[in-house]
Structure 1
Amino acid sequence: MSWKEKIVENKEILLVLLILTGAYILSFMAAGDVWWDAAVYIGMAKYIYSQGAIGLWEPNRPLLWPLLIGFFWKIGVDIFLAAKLLTLFFALGSVYLTYKITEVIADKKTALVAALLLGLWPIFFLYVSVLQTEIPAAFFFLWAIQRLLNKKYAQSGFLLALSFLTRFFQIFLILPLFLYLLVMVIQKKQEIKNILFFIIMFSLPVIIFLASNFLRYKNIFYPFELQSYMTQHTGWIFYQPWWYYFVEMSKENIFSIFIIPGIYFLFREARKQKAETKILFILILTGGSLPFLFAQHKEMRILIPLIPFFSVSIGICITRIYDVLEKTQKIMLCAFLSIIFLVWTLPQLHGNTYEDHLDFFYEKMQSVSENATLWISNPAFIAHTNQKASELIYYPLYNTEKMQDMEKKIPQKNVVLINSCDLLPCPEVDVGCQQ
């Protein structure tokens, strides 16, 4: 098939991608301030490629995203521009991969609906301009699924590892996938050699990461242990009840009410055709959602890697309803859904408009010597500079132990920048911190 024929065959999804490209680029014009986590990854990128001369370091963070954006910074590209272009690529790639996966699971019509839903999902749309790890991790995971459906087991395993090394929480989506493959082997529906290729290629990048942990911290699991500690002691401000996501998803995207009916249609159709593929999808969707549902720490951004699967489920529900309607009813359904989108979803689509109110600190940074020993309470203070943060006042937790440690290290030529709003309230059990 020639490239012209491929364009004609895929003209619908190409048009969707073109429209989304324009919308995402327009969202970059919002020009909000850098978010906390994005500032951390930018600082880590500079730290890695300057060999520790500038930037900052947080051991609990995955390394792939700072490695990617830092590479372009190292060759002279503005790091914010590099992060925006990479995130744009990963977002469009996620939409396209969602389309291709849905083609296999369902049909072309459903695939187009799912792609549109994902690309215009408010939290997904916002995070295209936030420059964090959620969308890159989703891209690598979707690519791994697409390769698996095409029986490219080694490629799938490798891409799955990249997803994990971009965002550690991807493990909750990865485990159902391993469970599915194990069941396929037990039922003799899958050759053991294919699974071995998959596991080996997944393990290689992870082993390299674990080895680097040993060389740096003498503990291969240190980033995970530290992340677990921080989740327990710093994540409490994000604690929400179990039903939080049901309410927030419905408020953000009313089409979320079709997710569960969509799963029902998948179960029903799995008995007739493409059973294994549909079961894989259901396992990822349900198995990947449950840990986040019952975890106390809840934020909408945490669900971004699952939104492609929510979009597919919604798309299946909508198209199955559409298929049983008569012509006039189909027109009415399309009109109704379009009105709902225009009234409910469209007003929520925007780029990064975050205002951090840190202009005083940014101005102060301009007069700080590059040789100064710099302590900061916010990673954004140095995101636009080539300064190195010698001490992160907020990290890993601001408490009595942290205060005592800093008191021992205060040098004479120290520059300390503290925004009191950056520091969490003292833990209730930490009496010394409260005093």
Structure 2
Amino acid sequence: MYDMKIFHHDKPLIIILLLTLLGRGLYLQLQYPLWWDSHIYIAMGKFIASNGGIGFWEWFRAPFHPLFLGLIGKMGFSIIIFGKIFDIIWSLGAVYFFYRIAEHLFERRIALVGSIIFSFTPVFIMLSGLMLAEPLAVFLALAGVWAFLRQRFFWTGILLALSFLTRFHFGVWIIAVLCSLLLEQGRWKEKFHSLLTTMGGFIVPVSAYLISNQLLWGKALKPFTEAQVLVDSAVWFYERSAWLYVERFFLACPLYLFVFMYGYLFFRNKEWRNTKKTMLVVVTILTFAYFLSISHKEVRYLMTALPALAMMAAAGIVWTYDYLRRTSSAFIKPKSFVVLCIVALLLPLPFELSFERPPQFHNEIGEILGENESRAMIVSTDPSLGTYLTSTIVTLDGTPFAAEIYARHKGKYDVVYIGDCDLQCHPQNQTCLDQKHDFWTTVREENELVLEKNWTFRENDVEKRYSCTYMVFVPKN
């Protein structure tokens, strides 16, 4: 009888989890191509699994996700297949913890509505199966918040540290939790103990990471202090205005406009006195403050605050529904409001979940290498070759480093694969333009062109088309 009571209480959650599983399963059937960062993580996983034999390691990326992919490879499983399966598991786990947290902070109706919004937000669905770090990071962050609400402070620190080490941006969650603890009413002795325990849990994984950085690179903070140098040469290409987040998130997913309704209620009803709810606002403010301050803007960056945004939107929707039920002269009936919300949830999905399939040339390069593929070395601007080929892949890491890396492997490589759009220079950066020209001159003089193809792209958030040329070279005899 007790088990049946639990089942009936959690029936909405079970249904949402089943719908989440069904939606992700159908989405995976579309077999959308992996992204650039997906191939990087796979290559890093292969590097771990092969003890450095294949793949490569990018020191400036958060390590936990590629370490997990490497563990999958170490166990003899396919990183691609099981990586996608675990993406679904992380998504289901994130929805589960979201529901529990929303039910604890608000009420069951908000947990129900928020879980549906969260689960079926296009960017969250889109990232399921791409083997990017966000699904794991958001799962760990929400697990950490749930541990915090259950007063398991050491585990709170551990889980939020792992979330941070999966995607550095998710460090806003530990800041929000610490703010909540500091603002909590109570005796300072108990508060200090909770803060110390939480920070103790956080420091354990993070200190291990910093020590490994010191041993490997000679600088514990190297990924935080020097990574920007690697992206400065190309970040201008992805520069967007703040309007991107309005157009591609709030207007594309209109239910999130109810976040602003909750913001009004938060101050009107003095909900800031509830430090746990304040935590959601802190995460949202910190996320937008950071990502609005940098040139490179993508909707997927909002995954950092998506759970908080979905909870607040759900609270705004439920309040509006209750208001319509209480008001006889409302401009819209409550049932009509529910229908509009369902339409607003589902209508964006077909448009937001479609994107271009970039060309891939691993089959052609595999044919060029023939039986020597597993022993070959490929110098490439694109990391995707490492996903599909067993060759050693050396990435050129952008225009500032391309010539140096190419020269270092001269006489060792079997193929050079270059996409000219991967070698970006700001039109006014003459130094970079000269480096690019000299690099191209050297490659063409020392190698023979065996394949050349053009491809025209149009990104969803870019109003112009642009063309890229892909070339495959082999050394001259």
What TM-score comes out, normalization by structure 1 length? 0.91
Partner of 2:6: 6
Kindly, what percent of the aligned residue pairs are identical? 24
Counterpart residue type for residue 237 of structure 1:
F
Aligned partner (choices 316, 341, 359) of residue 345 of structure 2: 341
Partner of 1:208: 208
Counterpart mapping for 1:303-318 below 5 A: 303-318=302-317
Task: Pick 1 or 2: higher relative contact order, CA cutoff 8 A, min separation 6.
Answer: 1
- Secondary structure of 2:61's aligned partner: coil
Return the alpha-carbon distance in structure 1 between the equivalents of residues 186 and 248 of structure 2.
Answer: 39
Asked whether the equivalents of residues 362 and 381 of structure 1 are also in contact (C-alpha less than 8 Å), the reply is no
Partner of 1:48: 48
Partner of 1:228: 228
Change (3 A) 1:414 1:102: same
**Structure (1 or 2) with the greater strand fraction:** 2
Return the alpha-carbon distance in structure 1 between the equivalents of residues 2 and 227 of structure 2.
Answer: 49
1:300 paired with 2:271, answer: no
Return the alpha-carbon distance in structure 1 between the equivalents of residues 283 and 75 of structure 2.
Answer: 38
Structure 1: stretches of 5+ with no match in the other structure: none
Task: Note the C-alpha offset of 1:263.
Answer: 2.0
- Secondary structure of 1:128's aligned partner: coil
Return the alpha-carbon distance in structure 2 between the equivalents of residues 330 and 61 of structure 1.
Answer: 47
Change (3 A) 1:99 1:270: farther
Counterpart residue type for residue 157 of structure 1:
G
Counterpart residue type for residue 356 of structure 1:
P
Partner of 1:159: 159
Partner of 1:285: 284
Residue by residue over 1:75-134, the C-alpha shift from the partner in whole angstroms, topping out at 9 and shown as x without a partner, is: 222211111111101111111211111112211001100000011111111111222011
Return the alpha-carbon distance in structure 2 between the equivalents of residues 336 and 408 of structure 1.
Answer: 60
Change (3 A) 1:190 1:230: farther
1:387 paired with 2:391, answer: yes
Task: Note the C-alpha offset of 1:211.
Answer: 1.1
Return the alpha-carbon distance in structure 1 between the equivalents of residues 176 and 231 of structure 2.
Answer: 23
Counterpart residue type for residue 347 of structure 1:
P
Residue by residue over 1:369-401, the C-alpha shift from the partner in whole angstroms, topping out at 9 and shown as x without a partner, is: 322232111110120233322x211x1x312x5
Asked whether the equivalents of residues 373 and 390 of structure 2 are also in contact (C-alpha less than 8 Å), the reply is no
Residue by residue over 1:30-75, the C-alpha shift from the partner in whole angstroms, topping out at 9 and shown as x without a partner, is: 1122211011101100101211001122111111111212222222
Asked whether the equivalents of residues 233 and 424 of structure 2 are also in contact (C-alpha less than 8 Å), the reply is no
Alpha-carbon RMSD across the aligned residues, in angstroms, is 2.4
1:371 paired with 2:369, answer: no
1:331 paired with 2:322, answer: no
- Secondary structure of 1:375's aligned partner: strand
Task: Note the C-alpha offset of 1:268.
Answer: 3.3
Change (3 A) 1:403 1:190: same
Partner of 1:398: 399
Task: Note the C-alpha offset of 1:412.
Answer: 5.0
Return the alpha-carbon distance in structure 2 between the equivalents of residues 186 and 238 of structure 1.
Answer: 47
Counterpart residue type for residue 58 of structure 1:
E
Asked whether the equivalents of residues 122 and 348 of structure 1 are also in contact (C-alpha less than 8 Å), the reply is no
Counterpart mapping for 1:7-406 below 5 A: 7-184=7-184, 188=188, 190-271=190-271, 275-326=274-325, 329-342=333-346, 344-348=347-351, 350=353, 354-358=356-360, 360-365=361-366, 367=370, 368-389=372-393, 391-393=394-396, 395=397, 397-399=398-400, 402-406=402-406
- Secondary structure of 2:188's aligned partner: coil
Return the alpha-carbon distance in structure 2 between the equivalents of residues 189 and 283 of structure 1.
Answer: 24
Return the alpha-carbon distance in structure 1 between the equivalents of residues 150 and 189 of structure 2.
Answer: 15
Change (3 A) 1:426 1:318: closer
Change (3 A) 1:255 1:271: closer
Asked whether the equivalents of residues 35 and 354 of structure 1 are also in contact (C-alpha less than 8 Å), the reply is no
Structure 2: stretches of 5+ with no match in the other structure: 327-331, 438-477
Return the alpha-carbon distance in structure 1 between the equivalents of residues 357 and 229 of structure 2.
Answer: 29
Change (3 A) 1:83 1:408: closer
Equivalent residue pairs, number: 427
Task: Note the C-alpha offset of 1:184.
Answer: 4.0
- Secondary structure of 1:244's aligned partner: helix
Return the alpha-carbon distance in structure 2 between the equivalents of residues 322 and 164 of structure 1.
Answer: 36
Task: Note the C-alpha offset of 1:434.
Answer: 4.7
More deviation, 54-63/1-10: 1-10
What TM-score comes out, normalization by structure 2 length? 0.83
Task: Note the C-alpha offset of 1:282.
Answer: 1.7
Partner of 2:435: 433
